[in-house]
Amino acid sequence: MMRVVQSKLIKETVKKLCLKANIELRGDMLAALKRARAVEKNLKARRILDIIIDNALIARKKKMAICQDTGMVVVYFDIGQDVMIKGNIDKAINEGVREAYKEGYFRKSIVKGPFSRKNTDTNLPSVIYTKIVPGNKISITVIIKGFGCENASRTKMFMPTESPAAVEDFVVDVVKETGSKACPPVYIGVGIGGTLDKAVSLSKEAVLRKIGSHSEIPHVAKMEKSILRKINKLNIGPMGAGGKATALGVSILTYPTHIAGLPVAVNISCHATRNARKTI
């Protein structure tokens, strides 16, 4: 039996998710910031963490954007194979984004062409990934990606014979190189394996995982902990003030890959890691 879903429901859901993600900091991110504040000894770093935590509370109270860079919207749209959607899906998603950015008083940051640089004034288009999955439900995930940290992200195609230690060093170097530009304390998503695009995609999905949780694969979990330890010894700290809180978490997702390769993608996500998900 096919389940019929009206495109209007999709539009409304995307809109609500964009509003929520931009205004309410993820509960696990806020908790991680508070934990970092509690153990931080560097006074300057502490004061900055206090402001960052305060900022999240002000944004929620005043229904304001947590950060003025309300990003480019990335939408993961997982459609159950037993769902039939009435209406145009892309149009419904984009319309939801457009309405949220107008009603939420969010910044419109998208330019029509990479060289023409003319603002579309709607924050459209968004980047949409659709996937067909079993079942009769639709899962919608909205990621709000600011470009301070997006610009800091990197990929590298390693030789297949390269050691896990070399991959760890690469991730640490990416963070070191970007310093305080990406708004630390950051959450780091790493995608390892697949093809170039698959690794990047995994690195994006990685930060959707609850911060502080670890991979179910023991050697990957070990790697996450080791990278986090190394990063937090860099003494970059919140906005470059020094201290231990350079990263709040590292999340690695892996995928089978080719005998000739080892793609690695590092997605830096700032302390205002914003996303929201709903299943309809």
Partner 1 sequence: MKIVNLPLRKSEIKKLKPGQEVLLNGPVLTARDAAHKRLVETLKLKKKLPVSIKDETIYYTGPTPARAGQVIGSCGPTTSARMDAFTPALLKNGLLGMIGKGERSEEIISAIKRSGAVYFVTIGGAGAYLSEKVISSKVIAYKDLGTEAIRRLILKDFPAIVA
Q: Which is nearer to partner 1, 76 or 187 (CB)?
A: 187
| Smallest distance from partner 1 to CB 95, Å | 19
Cβ neighbours, 10 Å, residue 205: 18
| Smallest distance from partner 1 to CB 71, Å | 11
d(CA 6, CA 18): 19
H helical segments located in the chain: 7-23, 27-39, 43-62, 89-103, 147-150, 164-178, 196-206, 218-231
Report the residue from 4, 87, 91, 105 that binds partner 1 according to the rule CB under 8 A. 105
d(CA 25, CA 20): 8
The answer to whether 79 and 143 have CB atoms below 8 angstroms apart is: no
d(CA 198, CA 258): 12
By CB under 8 A, residue 121 contacts partner 1: yes
Report the residue from 14, 30, 36, 52 that binds partner 1 according to the rule CB under 8 A. 52
φ, ψ (nearest 5 deg) of residue 248: -100, -20
By CB under 8 A, residue 122 contacts partner 1: no
Report the residue from 16, 44, 210, 278 that binds partner 1 according to the rule CB under 8 A. 44
d(CA 258, CA 61): 49
By CB under 8 A, residue 205 contacts partner 1: no
Report the residue from 16, 47, 137, 277 that binds partner 1 according to the rule CB under 8 A. 47
Report the residue from 110, 270, 275, 276 that binds partner 1 according to the rule CB under 8 A. 270
By CB under 8 A, residue 241 contacts partner 1: yes
By CB under 8 A, residue 107 contacts partner 1: yes
The tokens of 110 are what? 């998208």
Which pairing describes strands 138-145 and 274-279: parallel, antiparallel, or unpaired?
Answer: antiparallel
The answer to whether 211 and 248 have CB atoms below 8 angstroms apart is: yes
Report the residue from 14, 17, 45, 59 that binds partner 1 according to the rule CB under 8 A. 59
77-171-222-257 Cα dihedral, nearest 10 degrees: 60
By CB under 8 A, residue 176 contacts partner 1: no
Report the residue from 81, 88, 119, 279 that binds partner 1 according to the rule CB under 8 A. 119
The contact set with partner 1 (CB under 8 A) reads 44, 47-48, 51-52, 54-56, 58-59, 62, 64-70, 105-109, 117, 119, 121, 146, 148, 151, 179-181, 183, 238-241, 270-272
